[in-house]
Chains A and B, each alone.
Chain A
Amino acid sequence: MSPAIPVPRFDHGSRVPGWDESVDLSKDPAVVPDPATTPVPEELRQQIERSMAKYPDRRSAVIPALHDAQHLHGWCSPEAIQQVAAVMQLTPAYLTSVATFYDMLETSPAPKGHHDVYVCTNISCSLRGADDLYEAMIAASAGHPEIDVRSFECLGACDIAPMASVDGEYIGPLDTGDPARIVEDLQAGRQVLEAKQLRFRKSADPGAAEGAGDSPIEPSTGEAEEDKR
């Protein structure tokens, strides 16, 4: 017989974290926070109220509200959740259950105003070297805690594989030399790898050019929408 395969375990012998931490039944359950005693930044309150007004049911605004709170706090911190809960009149537990479901809502601490770099490592990108690109991106961003690099599932831009989304801007095709420039551009606060941005790319279909003007799509409209996130 070959040696037994080691199974990772916690000190207390279980493979499940928190199995021995019982619920403190003497504590009150978290209730809907009282708007009168929960301070909420005015701008955030207005954003959430605007979102709620768009839907027949205010609950539909949960994702937009958490997005806004995350933008303000850097992540869906207990404080952020508390504020959203106060405005929307929902329990913090409900909001936490939603926040933990979605990949773009951060439930672990991240610095305020950080940059999101999602490197697509799904099939089409990995066939073209996305795993090496991800490694290079991690290496290039070492020492920059404000740049949050994550490998991401298919971002829907396999035509520019391997690619990454930097604060929502799609760039590609990238090679392993590009991550260093991405970090440079982010630090300088300028457009990231403008030459490789998806929005300037023409359709691959040769027939699509029929009837369209010959001039390339002007990279001019980008300035206004740049600061939206």
Chain B
Amino acid sequence: MKLLFAGIDEPGLNTLEVYERRGGYESLRKALAMAPDEVLASISDSGLRGRGGAGFRMGQKASFLPRGDMDKYLVCNADESEPGTFKDRELMQKSPHMLIEGIVIASWAAGINRAFIYIRGEYARQADILEAAIAEAETAGYIGEDILDSQHSLSLVLHRGAGAYICGEETGLLDSLEGKRGNPRLKPPFPAIEGLYHGPTLINNVETLCTVPHIIRMGGAEYAKLGTETSTGTKLVSVSGDVQRPGNYEIELGTPSREIIFDLAGGPPEGHEVKFWFPGGSSAPVLTKDDLDIPYDFDSLAKAGSMLGSGAIIVVDDSHTVLEVALKLAKFYAHESCGKCVPCREGTNWTVKMLQRIQSGDATPMDLDLMASVQEQIIGNCLCVLGDAMAMPVGSMVEKFRAELEAEIEAARERAGTGELEDVIPLGVADEYAGPIPVH
């Protein structure tokens, strides 16, 4: 069943004319004829869970916003930076009006009059397309004062970011949108109570908002029949890495993972097999080839010790080492850590150093325990989950591929001629051998 991807490749779908011809903005008309509470109830009935990573129920989130006349904001999180994820890019590039329609409906339901789309700066072409679509929608009266002669007014501004992974984190995004460095904030208060410019703010992912028009068209209860009981609806899955047909696929939640990786994406290249895979972007703990039959939905993946995250499957085949992937991953998070919380800032850097030590042949199997303990110290100890996002997959790699990493340590020591294990200088003590550290 295709909802978001139905006819996505139709030429000119990014223009208002084609979008309207395909029945676009009909859901908006329907929603504006309903009371805001009815629209909200429909979204709640659908059981739609956030598609950005956390999987929080959208209807519930929207209902947290205080009622009444005040400055409330809707922010669409289009800062899609999770490695392996590219679903929002395709939606914004090919069907920008679907996103705009979703934003107008969601803002009507939550009583919001100002909306922003925060798009990552690298998506320059997609931002141009969205900007053109917003201008078209304004001219046609889908955005602005008294939309379609209803009580609803909305202004929509596209805001381009400038390249920072942390701005995908909702509070980091809010700071960035306020013109500051994108540092996450302490929660609570949650953005629904105090967010952008201290006003109540509803933040949703692009795919979540794109789903809203379909929910209104079908009715919440009808939408909830798709997928599984707790993971309703369809989901875009970005499959990449060692597969023959990488790309975005729309699936019903609950589809077996094997079907996505093998039947849709073609599986690993000839002669190779799946070694491990990330089910929900690079922040998700890895699963192995024994886990391929897990149904692809929020709860089944959580039960397997991982998460659905942003819905990005990265497949790694047996031609790559665990160390190589772990080091790439750790370097990424070390680069992107905003530096506000110590466990994340230091932990990500130390993990990189420890992995490089394995590579250079200076590590011992003891280092793996140290690495695992560093990961444990990061998890849950920071303002946001960037540190956790490194700690979870790296921790899972150490746990699931310990034998391989130990063999790699042995082999690297052999290559480097580092000598017997008792000659090893433990990590952190090495400085003493370089002479005393001067006291200033």
Contacts and interface: CB of A to CB of B under 8 A. Distances in A.
Q: What does DSSP make chain A's interface, helix, strand, loop or mixed?
A: loop
A118 B122 contact: yes
A136 to B, nearest CB: 19
Helix, strand, loop or mixed for chain B's interface?
A: loop
Contact of B93 (A1, A160, A199, A207): A199
Interface string B171-215: 000001111111000000000000001000000000000000000
Nearest to B166: A101
Contacts, number: 223
Contacts of B94: 203
A57 interface: yes
Most central of B181, B245, B332 by chain A CB within 10 Å:
B181
A23 interface: no
A218 B90 CA distance: 16
B248 A56 contact: no
Interface residues of A, number: 73
A127 interface: yes
Nearest to B329: A123
Interface residues of B, number: 81
Given A123-B314, A127-B316, A158-B238, A54 B123 contact: no
Given A57-B178, A104-B122, A208-B7, A158 B434 contact: no
A204 to B, nearest CB: 2
Interface string A179-210: 00000000000000000001100111111111
Interface string A53-95: 0111101111110110000000000000000000000000000
A218 B18 CA distance: 15
Interface stretch (A5-13, A24-32, A37-45, A140-148): A5-13
Interface string B106-137: 00000000100000111111001000000000
B5 interface: yes
A23 B9 CA distance: 59
B250 interface: yes
Nearest to A15: B437
Interface in B59-85: 71, 80-85
A161 B197 contact: no
A105 B240 contact: no
B438 interface: yes
Nearest to A215: B11
Smallest CB-CB A-B distances: 10 pairs: A204-B247, A4-B433, A168-B124, A158-B240, A103-B163, A102-B162, A62-B179, A104-B163, A59-B179, A7-B434
